[in-house]
Amino acid sequence: MKKNDILDVTIESLAFGGKGLLKIDGKALFVRNSLPGEKLRVKVIKSRSGFAEAIPLQTLTRSKYYVEPECSHFKYCGGCSLQNLKYEEQLVQKERQLKETIEHLGGVKDVEMEPIVPAPDVFHYRNKMEFSFSNKRWLTEEDEHKPKDFALGLHVPGNFEKVLDIDNCHLQSELSNRILNSVKESTQSEKLKAYDVRNHNGYLRYLVIRQSANTDDLLVNIVTKRDEPDKLKKVVEKLLIDCPEVTCVVNVINEGVASIAYGSKINLLHGDGNLHERIADVNLEIGPQEFLQTNTKAAELLYAKILDYADFSKDDDVFDLFSGVGSISLYIAPHVRSVTGFELLPEAVDSAGRNAASNGILNCKFISGDMRELFRDLDFVKKAHGIPDVIVLDPPRGGLHPSIPKRISQLKPSKVVYVSCNPASFARDLKLFAERGYKLKKLQAFDLFPHTPHAELVSLLEYEQK
Ligand SMILES: C[S@@+](CC[C@H](N)C(=O)[O-])C[C@H]1O[C@@H](n2cnc3c(N)ncnc32)[C@H](O)[C@@H]1O
């Protein structure tokens, strides 16, 4: 396979990350925007020693798993790239990807997995959406009547600058779509300038909408470059008329150049400044910039699996690493003697403490700091927080710093329950645990993000004496 070769191929499976995959003479060919079972004419755009990449030129035979996408933005938007793949087949592919990743990167042979858990809802499931403002609209044929220097929507894949204007996102609720359109209309009529990621000028950067699943809370966060909240007065007034269901509006300021909907200052424009949610029986107050699993109903299933795998006893002392606002700690608290949560963000630790108090939970405490630093001096950890019987951990996508599996093994909990949103970093970490005597005993994937290539997993590792 050489660059610019034109080939007729049949896609065999879906690779981790969502590209179609097949093998030609033992070499992997990744094909963008393709589905398993599809026959395509493709053009090779990159060829390396171990793999090549191609783009489709023509569909020769449609995949039997093809379904008509629901969303009118599907052709351009990368938000849910698997929407044209039958949902049952999405699950088959995600399960297979996880198994192969753990075998290849984690070095675990014959992984025994429980069947993947489908999402309770395959559309409108996200409790948080983050839309970008841009002064450079991605122009589609249908967009001719829209202004070129303003868009509020999602980045098209591979383009950090241009934004596809979105009116109706199928991953969020109908109410969240109304909010999106209200803010879009009023920010334009107020002539507020959308941000330019190249020159770093303009005012409006992101619109973040967070909606609780089990309470009636709805938090809107407008992220701006400068601290000028008066400019948003009319926008908020119209929003509260168009969508009286909105319970809170904040304005986060990000003056930096990093393209993130995160900042050090929060202006409160309406409501009490927090989102309130209930997971199982636990009431949670979550700050505008604090983490919560984005699919609440599926997260409830995942949390139940943590309990199942950990099989806690009332004498267990538990460490919950990367504890966020305490959602897992507080959920498991009634089943154990104590939980100590460790979390980087001081504001999330404050929320976790408040959440424990408001739920009348007395056996949890939360410690703020970077995991790597917190576990540097294990004698101090043991003196201050005791020795854990079980450790639950739920790190960000990058997984664990290599020092963490080492430190955990020195604490010697009998069980580790590892929750992960990234099979690749999980598999890498699994190897480090295995070297220290922790063996993978149970594993289950959860589809928290239908129509996207992402999957979540819960696993049980147990210490086995060599
Ligand atoms: C995937 S979230 C899990 C949160 C929580 N367990 C939950 O289910 O809601 C990961 C958490 O790790 C925190 N975090 C990221 N890097 C960290 C670090 N180096 N040390 C401690 N916590 C960190 C983040 O702030 C975030 O709250």
- Closest residue to atom 19 of ligand 1, CA basis: 370
318 assigned to some structural domain: yes
For 50, counting Cβ atoms within 10 Å of its Cβ (0-12 exposed, 13-18 middle, 19+ buried), the class is exposed
Ligand 1, atom nearest to 329 Cα: 6
Q: Tell me: the pLDDT tens digits for 74-110? A: 989 988 999 999 999 999 999 999 999 999 999 998 8
Contact by Cβ (8 Å): 131, 456: no
Residues 457 and 311 placed together within one structural domain of the fold: yes
Q: How many Å apart are CA 454 and CA 379, to the nearest integer?
A: 38
Number of domains in the chain: 3
Q: Are 133 and 272 members of one domain?
A: yes
Q: Looking at the CA of residue 342, tell me the nearest atom of ligand 1.
A: 21
The angle, 0 to 180 degrees and rounded to 10, between the axes of the packed helices 87-104 and 423-435 is: 30
The residue to mutate among 289, 292, 344, 350, having the most atoms of ligand 1 within 8 angstroms of its beta carbon, is: 344
pLDDT of residue 37: 95
Does 292 contact ligand 1 (Cβ within 6 A)?
Answer: yes
Ligand 1 atom, smallest distance to 320 CA? 6
pLDDT tens readout for residues 41-75? 999 999 999 899 999 999 999 999 999 999 999 98
Same domain, 254 and 329: no
Residue 371 Cα to ligand 1 midpoint, Å, equals: 9
* 345 CA to centre of ligand 1 in angstroms: 8
Q: Which of 210, 295, 322 to mutate to test the pocket of ligand 1 (most atoms within 8 A of CB)?
A: 322
| Residue at 69 is within a domain | no
The residue ranges of DSSP E strands in 186-305, in sequence order, are: 204-211, 218-224, 248-253, 265-270, 275-279, 282-286
State the Cα torsion 289-317-441-293 to the nearest 10°: -10
pTM confidence score: 0.94
- The mean pLDDT of 119-141, rounded to a whole number, is 95
Q: Tell me what percent of the residues of the chain surpass a pLDDT of 70.
A: 100
How buried is 254 (Cβ within 10 angstroms: 0-12 exposed, 13-18 middle, 19+ buried)? buried
Whole-number Å distance between alpha carbons of 61 and 40: 7
Residue 367 Cβ < 6 Å to ligand 1: no
Are 149 and 133 contained in the same domain?
yes
Q: Ligand 1 centroid vs 322 CA: distance in angstroms? A: 4
Are both 175 and 115 inside the same structural domain? no
* Residue 233 belongs to domain spanning: 128-279
Q: Which secondary-structure segment (H or E) carries 241?
A: helix 233-242
Is the pLDDT at 144 greater than 90? The verdict is no
The answer to whether 93 touches 167, Cβ cutoff 8 Å, is no
User: Is 421 considered catalytic here?
Assistant: yes
Question: Does a structural domain hold residue 88?
Answer: no
CATH of the domain at 182: 2.40.50.1070
Atom of ligand 1 nearest to the CA of 348: 27
**Residue 230: other Cβ atoms inside 10 A:** 7
CATH number, domain with residue 35? 2.40.50.140
| Ligand 1 lined by 404 (C-beta under 6 Å) | no
Q: Is 394 in the pocket of ligand 1 (CB under 6 A)?
A: yes
| CA–CA separation, 138 and 153 (whole Å) | 10
pLDDT tops 80 at residue 466: no
Ligand 1 atom 18: residue of nearest CA = 370
Q: Which two tokens stand for residue 232?
A: 């948003």
Give the span between the Cα atoms of 458 and 299, in whole angstroms. Answer: 11
331 lines ligand 1 (CB under 6 A): no
> pLDDT for 283-304, tens place per residue?
999 999 999 999 999 999 999 9
Alpha-carbon distance values, 134 to 140, 161, 197 (Å)? 15, 7, 8
Query: How far apart are the CA of 350 and the centre of ligand 1, in A?
Result: 14
342 and 392 in a single domain? The answer is yes
Is 277 near ligand 1, meaning CB less than 6 Å away?
A: no
Cβ–ligand 1 contact at 375 (below 6 Å): no
In this structure, the answer to whether residues 155 and 109 fall within a common structural domain is: no
> Both tokens of residue 345?
């963000």
Q: Per the domain annotation, does 97 fall within a domain?
A: no
Buried b (16+ CB within 10 A) or exposed e, 65-104: bbeebebebbebbbbbbbbbbbbebbbbbbbbbbbbbbee
Does residue 166 sit within a domain? Answer: yes
pLDDT at 465 over 80: no
